Amino acid sequence: MSYELKEEDKFKYIETKGGDEVLLLLHGLFGALSNFGGIIEHFGKTHNVVVPLLPILELPIRKVSVSGLVDHVAEFVEFKGFDKVNVLGNSLGGHITLLYALAHSDKVNSVILTGSSGLFENTLGSTFPKRGDYEFIRKKTADTFYNPEVATKELVDEVFDTVNDRNKAIRIVATAKSAVRHNLSDKLHNIKRPTLLIWGRQDNVTPFFVGEKFNELIEGSKLVVVEECGHAPMMEKPAEFNNALEAFLAELSAKKEA
């Protein structure tokens, strides 16, 4: 199943229009539409699955920040005229999801986080890798997953090309630093929407204890553990991920109908 990448106004996105309920997917720092292929395939015909391309690498340098990306999402939701959205974010996308839910709770039906930043994350390291260090990038990309084979050559090449473009690399570093500054530990108690946390037990980027801390700080949240899985459960264990998400959304729908 493939969907056309639409370009309207300043937004690039795909939209399945498979149902009335909107499932808005927000990718991470090195994420792309392909990261959500399993979710799109599973929910595309029953939900309106919408995936905006976040302008991490396109924002003017003075606007490069997590807040700038949250503003982009808010403008996109308004542009599309969505009343309520179920927002799902992976890694940095989870961080953006939380900030959006805090600032625009009236637009949020539910929050789904997987490997989210916002409390603690291991990034590329204290310094950015030297240009041309393909092996470093290959290893770091593979370390994202429990099964290193999930890090295909295509995925590694995509990350490698990004970090070897000076303008893109500057924006990646600036965004990562902004995320670290936006620690949300003292704000998560204000998340009042139904929240699902899906965490890989072997996540090396946002370790499992981070998922447990989110679970502790977000009242009423549900934590689902995915065994033998790293930072991107929707890619590494798509069936388990989709089953957990489907059960969560079904429960929300049942409560809404009741």
Neighbour count for residue 36 (Cβ, 10 Å): 25
Quick: pLDDT tens for 178-195: 888 889 999 999 999 999
Mean of pLDDT values over 93-101? 97
**Residues present in the chain in total:** 258
CB 100 within 8 A of CB 74: yes
- Mean per-residue pLDDT over the chain, rounded: 91
**With pLDDT > 70 as the criterion, what percentage of the chain qualifies?**
96
The answer on pLDDT for 126 being more than 60 is no
Neighbour count for residue 47 (Cβ, 10 Å): 21
Q: pLDDT at position 120, please?
A: 85
How far apart are the C-alpha atoms of 246 and 238, rounded to whole Å?
A: 12
Tokens (6 digits) for 176? 């990562």
Tokens (6 digits) for 225? 């553990």
Mean of pLDDT values over 161-177? 83
How far apart are the C-alpha atoms of 109 and 202, rounded to whole Å?
A: 29
The answer on pLDDT for 143 being more than 60 is yes
**Sequence-ordered list of residues with C-beta below 8 angstroms from that of 251, at least 6 positions apart, any chain:** none
How far apart are the C-alpha atoms of 98 and 111, rounded to whole Å?
A: 8
Quick: pLDDT tens for 48-75: 999 999 998 887 777 888 899 999 999 9
How far, CA to CA in Å, does 7 sit from each of 11, 58, 165? 6, 14, 24
CATH number of 6-257: 3.40.50.1820
Work out the end-to-end distance of the chain between its first and last CA atoms, rounded to an integer number of angstroms: 33
The answer on pLDDT for 128 being more than 60 is no
Mean of pLDDT values over 212-234? 97
Q: pLDDT at position 125, please?
A: 45
